[in-house]
Structure 1
Amino acid sequence: MKSIKQYLPLLLISGALTACDSSSDTETTSTDESSSSLDVLLEVTPDETTSLRYAQFEFSAPDASGYECAINEENFSDCESPFFKEEIALGSNWLSVRAYDEAGDFGEVTSFSWYVNDVFFEGHEDLVATNISPSPVEPNSWRGIFRINCDFAHSSYDDPIVFPGQNDAAHLHRFYGNTEVDENTTMASLYTEGESTCQGNLLNLTSYWVPALLAPVYDQITGERELDNNGDPAWQVVPAVVGNDDEAHEVFYYSAGVDDLDSVQPLPPGLRMIAGVASTRPGEEQDSTVARWHCQTWESNDATNPQFSATIPECHEPDRLRMDLFYPSCWDGENLDSEDHRSHMAYPINEGGIEGTHCPDSHPVPVVRVSYHYAFGVLPEYTHPVERSSKGWRLAADMYDVTDEQAGGLSLHGDWFNAWHPSVMEAILSNCIKAGLDCHDGNLANGYRLSGTREGTQEEPPIINSGMGY
């Protein structure tokens, strides 16, 4: 896999002072004849003209004990190398860096200026021209919606949100989107490393992950339950129906969770979210507005047939088991994460009256709503040779025994880590959601659609402890 850094030339800037002339977008550099031990050497990842909406800088000075940085008109504040800025404005921008020593004395300022074009103006290999115009949403349906498909990237026992820096600390997850996600993933690495298995590739480096769906392994002749190498009942992963560009099956939706579409804001870069509760046990069923299961043949929908289950229902071949997971869409407006990974987000409320569905005062910023919609084929290789159904299936996160009387799936939850190109996220909101359109197959309703899916590593580690991990 290519790293995004391969597309970005490094610019090395040194000297005492690089001054930015914003009126002409030119740089003038002045240096003393003798360099100072506090002069900053600056390595820059954005080009002088780019459509990237983030920037990363590395800097050093021989005798520096610390650094201060300023972006555009901001005041100087303490910073460290590498310095990552997740949301850069369109147009002219500049960064200034200065070093200071143990006595608190500052060296001179080193600066770099660059210009950010609109990605739709500059063009991008992951934007494909199209003459297909999305249709309006159906009555009594979504307010406005954008749908993408993703291929499977890889599986692991990592979770960079809940267990950052801890290898193999989680239950078995299946990852979609950014191909390089592991326990050490950060906002900066998400934007600057790897490609994506989702439509949009480098324009959609967001990571999506869910606990693996597992089916018992049976001897297809005798119907007896097979055992793993430890003598325990064997399990196998049931893959979702994803990654087929010829017959698109969109699994990730972006929509509005509040009635006032004009109030909805783009999802901020680097936002981390969790939907659903992994620790859910029998008697604590989750609300169907957050996490739910259904068989495709039920033809379930919220408007006319709200037939949903908190657990995995018994769907028979050749049906599909479907899963819906809705993320909170009200943000506190400040934090990209929180200690419990939930408190910075909230679900909309509807208390009646003229406000309709709206965000609570504690989380006043409505953002684009994320939801996952997976389908799993009920196929012979995953079913009992006689019953031929999804009976006995469970999630790797289910912390209870799945029996004939107690179905699996109560722990349905997912994680989402944002690395959309901000200009594309803004187009999704403006062109599809606020316009009340049903945008399929990555169609941005502006003459472009996102490029197709691609395979990840497809790495599948062994199923350990019924998927619960080490």
Structure 2
Amino acid sequence: MHWSTILLALAGSSHALIRFQCSQLVRQRLDPLVNPGMVPSPHVHQIVGGDSFNTTMDPKTKDIPGESSCTTCQFSEDFSNYWTAILYFKARNGTYKRVPQLSNVLFDGAAGGGMTVYYMQDPLYDIPQQSSVKAFQPGFRMFIGDLNARTKQEAARFRQLTYTCMDDQNSREQETVAFPTRPCPYGIMTSLRFPTCWDGVNLDSPDHMAHMSYPETGTFESAGPCPSTHPVRTSQVMFEVIYDTSSFVDPADWPEDGSQPFVWSFGDGTGYANHADYVFGWKDDSLQKILDTKCYVNCPGAKTQSIEEMNKCAESFQASGKMVEINEDIDGWLEKLPGGHVANYS
């Protein structure tokens, strides 16, 4: 089924399914969730969302909506920050080149490609959005993935971090948990799905994961109940990020043994260490109101902005001097990945 057909089929959902694009706010070696205050942090991320993003983002003192003046996301009351590692291509001669990003279908023009964000009450393709879920609260944050995972077994506890090798913009099938092993003419899409059961008490935890859980029956798609330790159902947050691999399909540039040439910015060449970060920042109760509304994307009362306005937020943030400058090349052909990393497979 083509993606445009799926979108039309979902338009009749009985509760809100939120799908929106965010332009890229900045690309830098910063990670205020895992490495707060560290400048630079160990590896490069792409960050989208509110322009109050900074190196520390202390949850005890930070009012994200109040401190942000704009957001690079389509919902103009969403000042959350969402971020992921970025992808590099390792050429046959051993040098690395950043893989550019593409905006998702129907969101052409988003600066830097950015990412598409979803909030879902129920499985996306199986049934209409029917469940009532609780929105995240101010100060909430979470992380998904394991930077040290290098095998399928090690990645298995994160049940829904996947890749799609795209032949065209509508490719959405045959997801894998490791990097695709064949050339992808259009791109590689990563889909990062967060757990959906909250303990109802803690806005964070030392590993940024323990306060969240998967349903008792496994994945979000199982539609199973939450465990007693994490009884509060939340919407599933999912990121889709598309990397433009169309310039990296020549076999002459790939390793001589034909193995796949892509590597995360922190050196993982297997793909099993895919991960993502989320810091909640919706204004007031705007997210809960949307989740309680019978709508799809165009939700009554929800404030949105154009892609041009999203991009202006990114431009003003980068010109403002708010973010510390890290003087390093992250885009040219590099002998090592920023931070001194090299591709590793174990």
Query: Structure 1 CA distance, aligned partners of 2:203 and 2:231?
Result: 15
**Between 246-255 and 324-333, the greater mean CA deviation after superposition:** 246-255
Within the alignment, does 1:336 sit opposite 2:203 as a pair?
Answer: yes
Residue 4 of structure 2 corresponds to none
Within the alignment, does 1:392 sit opposite 2:261 as a pair?
Answer: yes
Change in CA separation of 1:309 and 1:245 when aligned onto 2, cut-off 3 Å: closer
Residue 254 of structure 1 corresponds to 119
Residue 104 of structure 1 corresponds to none
| C-alpha displacement of 1:153 | 1.2
Within the alignment, does 1:236 sit opposite 2:97 as a pair?
Answer: yes
| C-alpha displacement of 1:280 | 0.7
| C-alpha displacement of 1:397 | 2.9
Query: Which structure 1 residue ranges, 4+ long, deviate > 6 Å from structure 2?
Result: 247-250
Within the alignment, does 1:360 sit opposite 2:224 as a pair?
Answer: no
When Rg is computed on C-alpha atoms for both structures, the one with the higher figure is 1
Residue 337 of structure 2 corresponds to 466
| C-alpha displacement of 1:180 | 4.0
**Structure 2 counterpart SS, 1:149:** strand
| C-alpha displacement of 1:234 | 2.7
Question: Which structure carries more strand by proportion?
Answer: 1
| C-alpha displacement of 1:247 | 6.8
Match among 296, 311, 314 for residue 454 of structure 1 = 311
Unpaired stretches in structure 1, ≥5 consecutive residues: 1-133, 218-223, 226-232, 403-407
Match among 210, 228, 234 for residue 84 of structure 2 = 210
Residue 290 of structure 1 corresponds to 160
Q: Is the 8 A contact 1:214 1:235 kept in 2?
A: yes
Query: Structure 1 CA distance, aligned partners of 2:69 and 2:250?
Result: 39
Residue 167 of structure 1 corresponds to 39
Change in CA separation of 1:360 and 1:153 when aligned onto 2, cut-off 3 Å: same
Change in CA separation of 1:152 and 1:327 when aligned onto 2, cut-off 3 Å: same
Q: 2:274 corresponds to which letter in structure 1?
A: L
Residue 145 of structure 1 corresponds to 17
Residue 346 of structure 1 corresponds to 213
| C-alpha displacement of 1:398 | 3.6
Change in CA separation of 1:447 and 1:342 when aligned onto 2, cut-off 3 Å: closer
Within the alignment, does 1:418 sit opposite 2:275 as a pair?
Answer: no
Q: 1:430 corresponds to which letter in structure 2?
A: D
Query: Structure 2 CA distance, aligned partners of 1:172 and 1:241?
Result: 18
Q: Is the 8 A contact 1:169 1:469 kept in 2?
A: no
| C-alpha displacement of 1:360 | 0.7
What are the Cα deviations for residues 135-165 of structure 1, in whole angstroms up to 9, with x where unaligned? 66289x9985211101111122221111122
Q: Is the 8 A contact 1:275 1:413 kept in 2?
A: yes
Query: Structure 2 CA distance, aligned partners of 1:365 and 1:410?
Result: 29
Change in CA separation of 1:390 and 1:142 when aligned onto 2, cut-off 3 Å: farther
Residue 199 of structure 1 corresponds to 74
Q: 2:82 corresponds to which letter in structure 1?
A: Y
Q: 2:161 corresponds to which letter in structure 1?
A: A
What are the Cα deviations for residues 415-455 of structure 1, in whole angstroms up to 9, with x where unaligned? 00000113320232012xxx3x542xxx22x1655112215
**Structure 2 counterpart SS, 1:422:** coil
Say how many residue pairs are matched. Answer: 299
Within the alignment, does 1:270 sit opposite 2:143 as a pair?
Answer: no
Match among 232, 237, 240 for residue 373 of structure 1 = 240
**Structure 2 counterpart SS, 1:428:** helix
Unpaired stretches in structure 2, ≥5 consecutive residues: 1-6, 320-324, 342-346
Q: Is the 8 A contact 2:121 2:131 kept in 1?
A: no
Q: TM-score scaled by structure 2?
A: 0.74
**Structure 1 counterpart SS, 2:311:** coil
| C-alpha displacement of 1:179 | 3.0
Q: Is the 8 A contact 1:152 1:242 kept in 2?
A: no
Query: Structure 2 CA distance, aligned partners of 1:142 and 1:323?
Result: 28
Matched-pair identity in %: 24
Within the alignment, does 1:409 sit opposite 2:266 as a pair?
Answer: no
Query: Structure 2 CA distance, aligned partners of 1:379 and 1:207?
Result: 28
Q: Is the 8 A contact 1:333 1:363 kept in 2?
A: yes
Query: Structure 2 CA distance, aligned partners of 1:265 and 1:448?
Result: 17
Change in CA separation of 1:300 and 1:384 when aligned onto 2, cut-off 3 Å: closer
**Structure 2 counterpart SS, 1:427:** helix
Query: Structure 2 CA distance, aligned partners of 1:146 and 1:158?
Result: 28
Change in CA separation of 1:159 and 1:257 when aligned onto 2, cut-off 3 Å: farther
Match among 322, 331, 334 for residue 189 of structure 2 = 322
Q: Is the 8 A contact 2:212 2:230 kept in 1?
A: yes
Query: Structure 2 CA distance, aligned partners of 1:251 and 1:237?
Result: 20
What are the Cα deviations for residues 256-278 of structure 1, in whole angstroms up to 9, with x where unaligned? 25899444111212210111222
| C-alpha displacement of 1:171 | 1.6
What are the Cα deviations for residues 331-372 of structure 1, in whole angstroms up to 9, with x where unaligned? 111111111111111112228xxx951211001111121001
| C-alpha displacement of 1:186 | 2.8
